[in-house]
Chain A
Amino acid sequence: MRVGIDWRPAVSGRGGIAAYVRALVNAYAPRFPDDALALYGHRLRPGAAHRHAPAAARVCAARLPSRVAEVLARFGVGADLLVGGCDVFHLTDYALLRPTRARLVATVHDVLFDELPRCYTPGMRRGLAAVTRRLVARADRLLVPSLRTKIALVERFGAAPDRTDVVPLGVRPLDPSPRAPGPAAGGRPYLLAVGTLEPRKNLARLLAAHRVALARGLDADLVVAGARGWLDDDVVAALTTAPRVRWEDRPDDRRLAALLRDATGLAYPSLGEGFGLPVVEALAAGIPVLTTAAVPCLEQTPGAALLVDPYDVEALADGLLRLAGDATLRARLVAAGAAVVADRPWTRTAEDTRTAYLRAVA
C-alpha cells in the first residue's frame, strides 16, 4: 500500500500534534516496511522537512505555501499527486489537503474548540470548526485518539460512528540527552506542568493553587514548560512574577525529557484534552501525575493518576501537597502507571492506523 501523510505539522510544529505525527511515522515505517510512505512536508528551506523523518520514507518537500497547496486540488493536483501518487492520504492536522484520487483518512485530535469555546478566540473557533466540518464531510475514515473525542465528533459534527476509529496514541521512549541539564530549579524539588500556554491547560488556577499550597507548607517549585499560545497574557504575567515558579519557554524534546526525568510529579489539571499525551509520557518516565477526569488517556484506568476537579483551586492545592509530600502515594501511582503504559507502544498506534487505512481503501 502506498501511504501519503501530511508531514507539515512535524516539520514546523511543537506540541502534541507534531509529536503525534513524528512518533506515528517513525513507528509505522519499521513496522510495515512493505508500505511505501510518502510524506508531504512543505518548507522554504530545503532539508528542513527531512529532519525527524525515517530514512525509509520519501519526503516530498514542495516549496509551496500551504494556502496554495491546499487549493491545487481544485486544479487537478491533489495531495496524492503532490507526493507522487498514493492509495491513501492521511491528514494529520486541522488542514484540508484534498487528494485527487486517493482515499482520505483524517485525524481529528479533539473538538474542544466547540466544547470549551471560552478557551479559544472567536477566529480560532470559526476556523477549526470549518475545517472539522469539511474533514468530516470528505474523509473516508476519521481517526480520533479517545472515545470521548469520538462521542463529541459524532454528536457535535455528525460524523458517522462506523467510519470513526478510536486510535489511542502511544508512548514514546524517553530520550533525555546525557548532557542535558539536571534539576531545573537549583536542586530543589519541583513539580512540572507541561503544555502550550492556553486557557484550556488551566495554568492560571494551577498557579493560584501552587501559591495556596506554598502557604500551607508545600516545599516544591513549579516549572511550567511550554510555548506561548493564545489568550495567555494573564498567565504570562503570573508566570514571571509568582514566587518559586519558573517558565521554560519552548523546550525541545530533549529538554522536556530532562525536565520530566527530574520532576517530583507532573501537574496537568487540563480542562479538556483529545488524549493527553503528556500524562502517558510522564507515566512512562515513572513520574506520578496529578490530572483531571477530563483527560481521556486514562479513561480505562483512572486509578493510575491522582484526579482532581480542575475548577477547584483548593482541591488542586490539596493535590499538589499530596503529590509532593506523600511518597507512598507517588510510589502507588507510578506502579499503576507503569502497567497502563506497558501495553501502549507507538507500534500499536501504527497498527491501528494501518487498519483504518485498509478500511478506507476497501
Chain B
Amino acid sequence: MDASPLTVEPRRGVARALGFLLAGLASLADADDGVEVVAFAPRLGERPRAFRRRMRDEVRPVGFDAWYAPWSAFPDVAVPLVVCVHELPFVRCGPVEGRVRAWAHRRWLARDVARAAAIVVPSRATRDDVLALHPEAAPRVIVVPHGFAPSFVAPPAPSLGTRGPAGRAGGIVLGGRGRRKGLDVWARALVGLTPVVSWTIVGRPPPGVLAAVPRDVPVEVLDDPDDAAVAARLAAAAVLVYPSRSEGFGFPPLEAMACGVPVVASAAGAIPEVVGDAARLVPPGAPDALRAAIRAVLTDAVAAAGLVARGDVRARAFPPEAAARSLLEVVRGAVERGGP
C-alpha cells in the first residue's frame, strides 16, 4: 500500500483513516497470519512524482498479491487494485470546493472505476454518490467504515470526573476549503444566539465567514492547528458544531465524543451514519435550526449530558481491528476475482 497520506501535514481525514487502518492491521497481525502489509511512503522532501516513480520501481521486485491505494493515486501495477474513495461532495452539493476540484474528483473517480478490482468507500452515502456517476461499478463498491480509537484524542485512562459539559464553555467548528464545511451557516446561526460563548475555528475559515460573525462573539482561529492545541480546545469545549454540507465519513464528531463534548451536526452525507443517535442533527444549510440546536445543547444540561453519554459509546463503535478485518476481506475477494 501507499502510506503517503500519513506523511502529509496537517494530517486530515484521509490520514486518520489510514492511520487507524494500519493500527488495526498491526493489531490483527498475530491473529491473521498469511497477510503481510508492505507500506511505502515518500522520503523527507521527496516530490510526489519522484515518489511515484520510486514506488513503481521498488514495488515490482517486492512481489505482492494486491495493491491498496488509500486515495485516488496509485502506481502502475499488474496486481488487483483496491482504491479507497472517500467522498464526492460535488455529486449532491455542486462544486462546494470549487469547480477545479470537482472536475479533478470526477476524473480521478473515472480512473478508479476503470482500474480498480474493488472500490472501498467509508459510508453508504459515498457509495450512493459513486453509483450516481458510475452505476456499472455497483458490485465492486464496498462499504468499509473507517476505524477510530478514542485514545487518539483522549488520554488512555480518562478521569471521568472531568467529563461532561459542566464547567466547559465555548464551541468548536472546523474550517476548510470552500463552502463544504458549512461555516457560513454557522456564522448566520450565531446571529441572535444566546448565550454568547467564545468559539474556536480549527483550520482556516473560508473567506467572508469571519465578517459574517456578529461583532460581540469572540472567535479564535487556529490556522495551523497542532494536535496538542486541538486537544486542549476539545477538553474545554461545551459543544462541537459540524454543519457540513457533505462528508464521506467525518472524524471530528467522533473525536469530540471521545473527549466528552456534545455534538451538533447537520444531517448531510455520511454524518448520520457515523454519529448515530449520539449527536443532535439538523438539516444542512438551515441556520435557524442550527441556532436552536446549539442553544439547546448550551442551556439544557440534561440533554447535553445525554449526548455526552451516548457519544462515549459511539466513539467506541468503530474499532480499528474491525475496519482492518473488513478491508482484508475486500482485498481477498479482489485477489480471488482478479482484475476489474
Residues of A at the B interface (CB closer than 8 Å) are 44, 62-65, 67-68, 71-72, 74-77, 81-82, 84
Q: How far is the CB of B70 from chain A (nearest CB, A)?
A: 11
User: Which residues of B in the span 146-170 have a Cβ within 8 Å of any Cβ on A?
Assistant: 149, 151-152
Given that A44-B38, A68-B41 are known contacts, is A77 also in contact with B3, CB under 8 Å in the complex? no
Given that A63-B39, A65-B3, A67-B7 are known contacts, is A72 also in contact with B152, CB under 8 Å in the complex? no
**What CA separation (Å) do A60 and B307 show in the bound complex?**
43
**What CA separation (Å) do A71 and B22 show in the bound complex?**
10
- Which of B23-31, B72-80, B106-114, B201-209 binds A? B23-31
Question: Top 8 A-B pairs ranked by shortest CB distance?
Answer: A75-B19, A75-B23, A65-B41, A63-B38, A77-B23, A76-B149, A68-B3, A77-B26
Q: Is B227 an interface residue (CB 8 A)?
A: yes
Q: Is B320 an interface residue (CB 8 A)?
A: yes
Given that A44-B58, A72-B26, A77-B23 are known contacts, is A67 also in contact with B38, CB under 8 Å in the complex? no
Q: Is B313 an interface residue (CB 8 A)?
A: no
User: Which residues of B in the span 213-241 have a Cβ within 8 Å of any Cβ on A?
Assistant: 227
Digit string of B40-61 for contact with A (CB within 8 Å is 1, else 0)?
Answer: 1101100000000000001000
B320 close to A75 (CB less than 8 A) = yes
B44 close to A67 (CB less than 8 A) = yes
Q: Chain B residue with minimal CB distance to A45?
A: B62
B227 close to A81 (CB less than 8 A) = no
A67 close to B22 (CB less than 8 A) = no
**What CA separation (Å) do A71 and B16 show in the bound complex?**
10
Contacts A63-B36, A68-B6, A75-B22 supplied; 5 other A-B pairs, CB < 8 Å = A65-B40, A67-B41, A67-B43, A76-B320, A77-B27
B30 close to A84 (CB less than 8 A) = yes
Contacts of A62 on B, CB cut-off 8 Å? 26
Q: Of A71, A77, A81, which contacts B11 at CB under 8 A?
A: A71
Contacts of B227 on A, CB cut-off 8 Å? 74
Digit string of B112-154 for contact with A (CB within 8 Å is 1, else 0)?
Answer: 0000000000000000000000000000000000000101100
Q: Is B302 an interface residue (CB 8 A)?
A: no
A72 close to B23 (CB less than 8 A) = yes
What is the interface residue range for chain B against chain A? 20 to 34
Q: How far is the CB of A160 from chain B (nearest CB, A)?
A: 22
**What CA separation (Å) do A77 and B37 show in the bound complex?**
15
Interface of B (DSSP majority class) = helix
B23 close to A76 (CB less than 8 A) = yes
Q: Is B20 an interface residue (CB 8 A)?
A: yes
Our count of residue pairs bridging A and B at CB distance below 8 angstroms stands at: 60
Q: List 5 A-B contacts (CB under 8 A).
A: A65-B39, A67-B7, A68-B39, A74-B152, A76-B149
Q: How far is the CB of B159 from chain A (nearest CB, A)?
A: 18
Contacts of B149 on A, CB cut-off 8 Å? 75-76
Contacts of B16 on A, CB cut-off 8 Å? 75
**What CA separation (Å) do A82 and B11 show in the bound complex?**
21
**What CA separation (Å) do A84 and B62 show in the bound complex?**
24
Q: How far is the CB of A254 from chain B (nearest CB, A)?
A: 28
Contacts of A44 on B, CB cut-off 8 Å? 38, 58, 62
Q: How far is the CB of A348 from chain B (nearest CB, A)?
A: 36
Q: How far is the CB of B39 from chain A (nearest CB, A)?
A: 5
**What CA separation (Å) do A81 and B20 show in the bound complex?**
14
Contacts of A67 on B, CB cut-off 8 Å? 6-7, 41, 43-44
A75 close to B152 (CB less than 8 A) = yes
A76 close to B151 (CB less than 8 A) = yes
Q: How far is the CB of B151 from chain A (nearest CB, A)?
A: 5
**What CA separation (Å) do A68 and B62 show in the bound complex?**
19
**What CA separation (Å) do A76 and B149 show in the bound complex?**
7
Contacts of B151 on A, CB cut-off 8 Å? 76
**What CA separation (Å) do A273 and B152 show in the bound complex?**
39
Q: How far is the CB of A94 from chain B (nearest CB, A)?
A: 13
**What CA separation (Å) do A63 and B26 show in the bound complex?**
11
Contacts of B43 on A, CB cut-off 8 Å? 67
Contacts of A82 on B, CB cut-off 8 Å? 26
**What CA separation (Å) do A71 and B21 show in the bound complex?**
13
Contacts of B30 on A, CB cut-off 8 Å? 84
A64 close to B22 (CB less than 8 A) = yes
A68 close to B152 (CB less than 8 A) = no
Q: How far is the CB of B319 from chain A (nearest CB, A)?
A: 10
**What CA separation (Å) do A77 and B44 show in the bound complex?**
22
**What CA separation (Å) do A8 and B40 show in the bound complex?**
16
User: Which residues of B in the span 261-279 have a Cβ within 8 Å of any Cβ on A?
Assistant: none
Q: How far is the CB of A308 from chain B (nearest CB, A)?
A: 38
Contacts of B41 on A, CB cut-off 8 Å? 65, 67-68
A75 close to B44 (CB less than 8 A) = no
Q: Of A63, A64, A65, A76, which contacts B152 at CB under 8 A?
A: A76
**What CA separation (Å) do A75 and B6 show in the bound complex?**
11
Q: Chain B residue with minimal CB distance to A127?
A: B44
Greatest chain B CB density within 10 A among A77, A82, A84 is at: A77
Contacts of A63 on B, CB cut-off 8 Å? 36-39
**What CA separation (Å) do A65 and B7 show in the bound complex?**
10
A75 close to B20 (CB less than 8 A) = yes
**What CA separation (Å) do A84 and B320 show in the bound complex?**
17
B36 close to A77 (CB less than 8 A) = no
Q: How far is the CB of B122 from chain A (nearest CB, A)?
A: 16
Q: How far is the CB of A49 from chain B (nearest CB, A)?
A: 14
Contacts of A74 on B, CB cut-off 8 Å? 19, 152, 227
Q: Chain B residue with minimal CB distance to A82?
A: B26
